[in-house]
């Protein structure tokens, strides 16, 4: 709302300025006439004064309509078309001649519309329309204006045709179907205007079948246009229809052309400009064609492309003193931004779909082409819910990856985010130790004696990681704060992006963190909160534009030049998707080794790998730990009392966990050296236990299936599926087996769907002493806290996660449990 108000206010100011010029002209002409009427002896002087005023008006107008906007169009072109740096605010429509030999330009604001009203056969209307269109097309910075036209004849705009292949204009609509398509597009524009482009809706003539509802839609567009970059230029508006809102009318129906007040302004009491007006003539078609061809050529090579951000040769730079990357174009030139001691971390803000991921992806291509993997390591975490970094990891159809990437979190999970932050903190401590040993305190100095890559960790939508007040959020917060504060000295850099960058304020609100740690702020559309609250530089950005501020987001005095702040245009790398695809492939081909990044997808099931580690003490493998390399979550089977595992919770993953445990043990035994006793107490698990039995038997193991299971005397494993359904006591002497089994090589693995039966079967206690391993699936939080004797446990059951507790080591961790192949995620 405030934006609309200020747009309307600006519109009004510029209109009033134009109106004031005209009022002065009228007043001057009136004064001159009065002087003449009085047959004043000073008539000659009055004429001179009047000419002086007209000359002043002409030069004032010239300032508002420089170059193409105001110059006569039938002579040599006034300037290179499309080279303007600013959007036009006014455009000339003709000249006013208060005296036969003195004239000044008549100009109208581009924030309002232009309606031209003439007899059907009067060619002056279409000539004026073409003249205004030409001026606007030529004066806008190349490629920043789009033209949509409606022209029943289909021929009025042929001279502008070169704009069509350049994507700046479409074939004019010639009938009501085309008209409605154009109106729909303009309505969409008004709802979601681009700040990068202006839209000219040119109506050279309306189709004969146009009806009142079409006219109402056009009028509504005119009404809603101010502030959106949409301007209507309309010839042949039906005489009986209500006037278009916000328009200046040039009426050519009368003997003398009449120009009405511009919207929001007034020439005087009559409501029109009371001096003779000569509308601009039709511009020569050759000039129109040449302007459009040049604009089209500019446009094709106009917007920045990904290739502009990339070096000619891969991996030529050293990161010892910092990382540098071209992020886009500012004022037509490439703009380089650094991750270094002075600008260690960047913060990127922008509303949903403002191009944050695109901006970051550009930066990643720029960095990874300049620096080799020995100079740069990347950690990429996407909490935005998109698939932002998917292209950097192997996928089904595309085996390549970014060789610099160590970990890529495609579907975010706070546990994995914390794992990455912990790894970075460990790395930071290691580097700090190395610096101390070497007696240096800058990364650049440490690098003199050793090869060590700089690390860039990108966290898209980082507030998702820090939000909340649970232990995990607090730990992440502390880790980010530590990395922000100390990373610069050890070559560790953060790029944090968010829709609401304010979250980060709390990071540096703490005195010791210091706002200076985030000197680089990058505000995309809607990303003003990445800047200082008083800095409005990002209020008017379009897609593909950003404000880059290297002074912590601070603006400066109004009107002062800001050396620390640039407006940047950055490319859409997917505009030509084969370019990033080729770059990725080249980088991958040049990879120094075959280690692909660790890829984390929160919802993806984990499966028992075919090859397991060889260890002195046998372990069961139950899932993946949520650490950076997603290491195996194991439960070692020492021979001490209680080395058994209880899987708890009704989730069907309970059976899968026992299955993984059995298979992992089978893989560690030579055939014939272990006895597996399988006890399926619930019908639903029988397909699974049948497959398991068959596979273990095929591998040469001794397998007994029974619902009245007996424990082997030595070296055997009992797997009870759904023990809570077992009639009476499922396993004779279970408490004794639990206590004394392990020293005979006997271990029990049981899945109880309810906690009470588990307690009864294992000794009647809430936290049985003789089962050291607990894997909790969907066990309610309160029960879990009691079971583990930890009121601050904070375990919340969730899909595809289990809580693994080893009473003997005291370790409790969230794991991704192994699931049966084909188990839906």
Ligand X SMILES: Nc1ncnc2c1ncn2[C@@H]1O[C@H](COP(=O)(O)OP(=O)(O)OP(=O)(O)O)[C@@H](O)[C@H]1O
Cβ closer to ligand X: 527 or 750? 527
DSSP, residue by residue, 165-187: TTTSB-PPB-SHHHHHHHHHHHH
Of 354 and 800, nearer to ligand X (C-beta) is 354
User: Can you tell me whether residue 504 is helix, strand or coil?
Assistant: helix
- 3-class secondary-structure state, position 160: helix
What character string, x for contact with ligand X (CB under 6 A) and - otherwise, covers 307-336? Answer: ------------------------------
Residue pointed to by tokens 């236990």: 689
Least distance CB 525 / ligand X (angstroms): 9
- Is residue 823 within 8 Å of 605, Cβ to Cβ? yes
Q: Is 576 annotated as a binding residue?
A: no
Q: Is 356 annotated as a binding residue?
A: yes
Please state the closest distance from residue 499 (CB atom) to ligand X, in A: 6
Task: Return the number of other C-beta atoms located less than 10 Å from residue 19's C-beta.
Answer: 21
Cα–Cα distance measured from residue 348 to residue 77, given in angstroms and rounded to the nearest whole number: 43
Using a 10 angstrom Cβ sphere, with 0-12 exposed, 13-18 middle and 19 or more buried, the burial of residue 449 is exposed
Residue 384, CA atoms < 13 Å, CB-side half-sphere: 28
In the complex, the smallest distance separating the C-beta of residue 399 from ligand X, rounded to whole angstroms, is 25
Taking the least distance from each CB to ligand X, the nearer of 125 and 464 is 464
Q: Map residue 447 onto helix, strand or coil.
A: helix
* SS3 state of residue 143: coil
- Structure tokens belonging to residue 211: 């009806």
Neighbours of 133 (CB within 10 A): 26
- Cβ 197 to ligand X shortest distance, Å: 11
Tell me the pairing of strands 247-251 and 545-549. Answer: unpaired
Distance linking the first and last C-alpha atoms of the chain: 44
- What's the chain's length in residues? 825
- Hey, which residues between 526 and 555 contact ligand X (CB under 6 A)? 543-544
**Number of amino acids touching ligand X (CB under 6 A):** 16
Residue whose C-beta lies closest to ligand X = 544
Residue 148: how many CA atoms within 13 Å on its side-chain side?
18
Window contacting ligand X (CB under 6 A); options: 231-239, 318-326, 487-495, 570-578: 570-578
**Nearest approach, Cβ of 145 to ligand X (angstroms)?**
16
What's the closest the beta carbon of residue 62 comes to ligand X, in angstroms? Answer: 35
By CB under 6 A, is residue 571 in contact with ligand X? yes
The least CB distance from residue 458 to ligand X, in Å, is: 12
Residue with smaller CB distance to ligand X, 425 or 572 = 572
Q: How far is the CB of 463 from ligand X (least distance, A)?
A: 12
Q: What is the closest distance, in whole angstroms, from the C-beta atom of residue 386 to ligand X in the complex?
A: 5
Q: Where are the alpha helices (DSSP H) in 531-635?
A: 578-589
Select the residue interacting with ligand X from 237, 443, 570, 681 (CB under 6 A): 570
CA-CA distance, 556 to 554, in Å (whole number)? 6
- Residue 797, H or E segment: none
The reply, when asked if residue 301 is annotated as ligand binding, is no
Please say which residue, 105 or 571, places its beta carbon nearer to ligand X: 571
Which range touches ligand X (CB under 6 A), out of 101-109, 567-575, 602-610, 688-696?
567-575
Site for ligand X in 590-619 (CB under 6 A): none
**Residue closer to ligand X, measured from CB, 260 or 384:** 384
Closer residue to ligand X (CB): 133 or 531: 531
Q: CB nearer to ligand X: give 54 or 548.
A: 548
Q: Which parts of 372-391 interact with ligand X (CB under 6 A)?
A: 384, 386
299 binds ligand X (CB under 6 A): no
- Minimum distance between the CB of residue 361 and ligand X, rounded to whole angstroms? 7
119: Cβ–Cβ under 8 A, 6 or more apart, which residues? 252, 253
The one-character DSSP state at 254 is S
Q: Which is nearer to ligand X, 262 or 350 (CB)?
A: 350
Q: Are 200 and 222 in contact (CB under 8 A)?
A: no
Find out whether 743 is annotated in a ligand binding site.
Answer: no
For the chain, give percent helix, strand, coil, nearest 5.
35, 20, 40
For ligand X, which is the closer residue by CB, 572 or 659?
Answer: 572
- Is-contact 783 749, C-beta < 8 A? no
Mark 493-532 with x for binding to ligand X (rule: CB under 6 A) and - for no binding: ----------------------------------------
Print the binding letters for residues 87-106 with ligand X: x by CB under 6 A, - otherwise: --------------------
CB of 211 to ligand X, least distance (A): 36
Neighbour-count burial for 491-521, b at 16+ CB within 10 Å, e otherwise: bbbbbbbbbebebbeebbeeeebebebbbbb
Helix axes 471-486, 414-438, angle to 10 degrees: 30
Distance CA 320, CA 448 (A): 8
Q: Is 572 one of the binding residues for ligand X (CB under 6 A)?
A: yes
Residue 350 marked in a binding site: yes
Least spacing, CB of residue 390 vs ligand X, in Å? 12
Compute the least distance from the CB of residue 391 to ligand X, in Å: 12
Output 358 or 549, the one with its CB closest to ligand X: 358
In terms of CB distance, is 574 or 588 closer to ligand X? 574
Q: Interhelix angle for 212-224 vs 176-191, to 10°?
A: 30
Site string for ligand X, 334-373 (x = CB under 6 A): ----------------x-xxxxxxx---------------
CA distance 769 to 643: 11
Tokens standing for 460? Answer: 């898209």
What mask, x for binding ligand X by CB under 6 A, covers residues 409 to 428? --------------------
Find out whether 43 is annotated in a ligand binding site: no
Q: Would you say 801 and 817 are in contact if contact means Cβ atoms under 8 Å apart?
A: yes
Q: Which lies closer to ligand X via its Cβ, residue 568 or residue 726?
A: 568
Q: Which amino acids are annotated as binding site for ATP, given as ranges?
A: 350-357
Residues that bind ligand X (CB under 6 A): 350, 352-358, 384, 386, 543-544, 570-572, 574
Q: Which amino acids are annotated as binding site, given as ranges?
A: 350-357
């Amino acid at each position: 709302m405030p934006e609309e108000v200020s747009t309307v206010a600006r519109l009004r100011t510029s209109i009033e300025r134009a109106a004031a010029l005209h009022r002065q002209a009228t007043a001057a002409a009136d004064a001159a006439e009065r002087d003449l009427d009085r047959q004043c002896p000073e008539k000659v002087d009055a004429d001179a004064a009047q000419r002086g005023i007209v000359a002043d008006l002409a030069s004032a107008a010239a300032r508002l309509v420089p170059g193409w906007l105001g110059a006569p169009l039938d002579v040599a072109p006034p300037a290179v078309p499309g080279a303007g740096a600013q959007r036009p605010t006014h455009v000339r429509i003709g000249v006013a001649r208060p005296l036969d030999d003195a004239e000044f330009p008549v100009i109208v604001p581009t924030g309002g519309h232009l309606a031209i009203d003439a007899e059907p056969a009067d060619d002056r209307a279409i000539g004026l329309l073409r003249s205004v269109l030409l001026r606007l097309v030529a004066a806008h910075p190349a490629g920043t204006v789009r033209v949509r036209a409606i022209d029943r004849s289909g021929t009025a705009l042929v001279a502008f045709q070169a704009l069509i292949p350049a994507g700046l204009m479409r074939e004019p609509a010639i009938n009501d179907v085309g008209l409605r398509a154009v109106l729909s597009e303009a309505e969409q524009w008004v709802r979601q205007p681009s700040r990068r482009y202006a839209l000219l809706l040119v109506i050279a003539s309306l189709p004969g079948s146009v009806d009142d509802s079409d006219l109402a839609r056009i009028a509504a567009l005119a009404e809603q246009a101010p502030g959106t970059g949409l301007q209507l230029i309309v010839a042949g508006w039906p005489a009986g229809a209500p006037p278009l809102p916000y328009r200046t009318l040039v009426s050519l129906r009368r003997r003398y052309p009449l120009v009405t007040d511009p919207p929001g302004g007034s020439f005087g009491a009559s409501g029109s400009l009371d001096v003779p007006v000569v509308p601009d003539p039709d511009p020569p078609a050759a000039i129109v064609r040449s302007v459009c061809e040049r604009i089209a050529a500019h446009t094709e090579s106009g917007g920045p492309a990904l290739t502009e951000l990339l070096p000619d040769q891969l991996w030529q730079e050293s990161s010892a003193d910092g990382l540098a990357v071209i992020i886009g174009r500012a004022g037509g030139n490439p703009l380089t931004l650094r991750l270094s001691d002075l600008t260690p971390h960047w913060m990127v803000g922008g509303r949903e779909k403002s191009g944050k991921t695109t901006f970051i992806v550009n930066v990643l291509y720029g960095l990874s082409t300049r620096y080799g993997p020995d100079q740069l390591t990347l950690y990429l975490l996407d909490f935005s819910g998109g698939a932002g970094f998917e292209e950097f990891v192997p996928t089904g159809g595309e085996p390549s990856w970014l060789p610099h990437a160590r970990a890529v979190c495609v579907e975010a999970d706070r546990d994995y985010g914390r794992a990455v932050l912990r790894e970075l903190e460990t790395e930071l401590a290691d580097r700090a130790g190395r610096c101390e040993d070497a007696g240096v305190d800058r990364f650049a100095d440490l690098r003199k004696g050793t090869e060590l890559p700089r690390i860039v960790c990108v966290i898209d939508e980082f507030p998702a990681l820090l939000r909340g007040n649970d232990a995990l959020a607090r730990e992440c917060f502390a880790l980010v704060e530590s990395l922000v504060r100390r990373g610069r000295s050890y070559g560790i850099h953060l790029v944090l992006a968010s829709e609401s960058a304010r979250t980060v304020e709390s990071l540096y609100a703490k005195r010791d963190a210091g706002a200076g740690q985030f000197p680089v702020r990058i505000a995309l559309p809607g990303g003003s909160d990445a800047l200082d609250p008083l800095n409005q530089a990002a209020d008017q950005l379009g897609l593909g534009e950003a404000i880059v501020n290297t002074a912590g987001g601070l603006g400066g005095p109004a009107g002062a030049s800001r050396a620390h702040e640039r407006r940047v245009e950055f490319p859409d790398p997917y505009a030509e998707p084969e370019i990033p695809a080729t770059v990725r492939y080249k980088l991958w081909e040049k990879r120094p080794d075959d280690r692909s990044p660790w890829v984390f997808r929160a919802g993806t099931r984990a499966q028992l790998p075919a090859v397991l580690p060889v260890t002195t003490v046998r372990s069961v493998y139950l899932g993946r730990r949520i650490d950076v390399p997603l290491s195996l979550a194991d439960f070692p089977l020492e021979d001490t009392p209680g080395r058994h595992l209880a899987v708890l919770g009704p989730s069907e993953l309970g059976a899968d966990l026992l299955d993984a445990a059995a298979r992992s043990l089978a893989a560690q035994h030579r055939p014939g050296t272990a006895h597996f006793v399988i006890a399926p107490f619930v019908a639903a698990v029988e397909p699974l236990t049948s497959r398991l039995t068959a596979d273990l038997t095929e591998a040469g193991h001794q397998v007994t299936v029974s619902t009245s299971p007996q424990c082997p005397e030595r070296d055997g494993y009992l797997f009870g599926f759904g023990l809570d359904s077992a009639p009476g006591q499922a396993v004779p002497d279970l408490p004794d087996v639990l206590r004394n089994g392990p020293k005979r090589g006997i271990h029990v693995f049981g899945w109880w769907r309810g906690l009470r039966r588990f307690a009864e079967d294992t000794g009647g206690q809430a936290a049985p002493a003789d089962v050291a391993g607990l894997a909790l699936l969907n066990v309610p939080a309160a029960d879990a806290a009691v079971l583990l004797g930890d009121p601050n446990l904070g375990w919340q059951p969730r899909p595809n996660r289990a809580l693994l507790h080893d009473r003997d080591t005291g370790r409790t961790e969230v794991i991704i449990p192994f699931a049966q192949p084909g188990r839906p995620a």
